[in-house]
Amino acid sequence: MPFERGPYLSVAAFCEQVIEDKSGSLSLIRIVDRLSVTAQGLDAPEEMPASNFNWTFVLALKSGEARGSHEIKVVPELPSGETLPPSILSIHLEGGNRGANLISKFDMPLTMPGVYWFKIYLGGEFLTRMPLEVIYSRIVPPATQF
């Protein structure tokens, strides 16, 4: 069973901002797993207009018996089931109870409402997946009659 002896997942999240102090402790500001996209006005489109998702990806691991540099692959899956090209990152693990934090800006277009899944792989093995639900709200004011 992969990861039975490490590394161990502590955090996998999207957030607006990350503060990392000198000791490596993290403060995650505004963790998000649901976004609202709103269009309003008489010409508000029926279909959700493309919107940009520009947040910070945070992955925190505890090493366990895992050591050395490892490839992290993040594979976005659209609500339609289509997968996008992966983002490839790396993390260095020192072993034992030592932790490693991976913090990266994540920017992609959101083109439809629904649940986007982000599959996380470590060294080619599936580690976890993160959901991001996108809700589209269309607000059209009532027509005024004269």
Q: What is the pLDDT of residue 36?
A: 93
CA angle 103/96/22 to nearest 5° reads: 40
Taking the C-alpha atoms of residue 34 and residue 104, their distance in angstroms, rounded to an integer, is: 19
Taking the C-alpha atoms of residue 54 and residue 125, their distance in angstroms, rounded to an integer, is: 26
- pLDDT of residue 13 exceeding 60: yes
Q: Backbone phi, then psi, for 15, in 5-degree steps?
A: -145, 165
Predicted confidence band of residue 83 (pLDDT cuts 50, 70, 90): very high
* 50-54, 79-83, 109-113: least confident range: 50-54
Q: Which residues contact 38 (CB under 8 A, 6 or more apart)?
A: 136, 137, 138, 139
- pLDDT of residue 145 exceeding 60: no
Q: So where are the chain's domains? A: 8-39+49-133
For domain 8-39+49-133, the CATH class is: mainly beta
* Residue matched to tokens 């339609």: 80
Q: What is the pLDDT of residue 141?
A: 85
Cis peptide before 7 (omega within 30 of 0): yes
Q: Map 30-99 to HEC letters.
A: EEECEEEEEEECCCCCCCCCCEEEEEEEEEEEEEECCCEEEEEEEEEECCCCCECCCEEEEEEECCEEEE
Please state the pTM of the whole predicted model: 0.89
28-78 pLDDT, tens per residue?
A: 999 999 999 999 988 889 999 999 889 999 999 999 999 999 999 999 999
Predicted confidence band of residue 133 (pLDDT cuts 50, 70, 90): very high
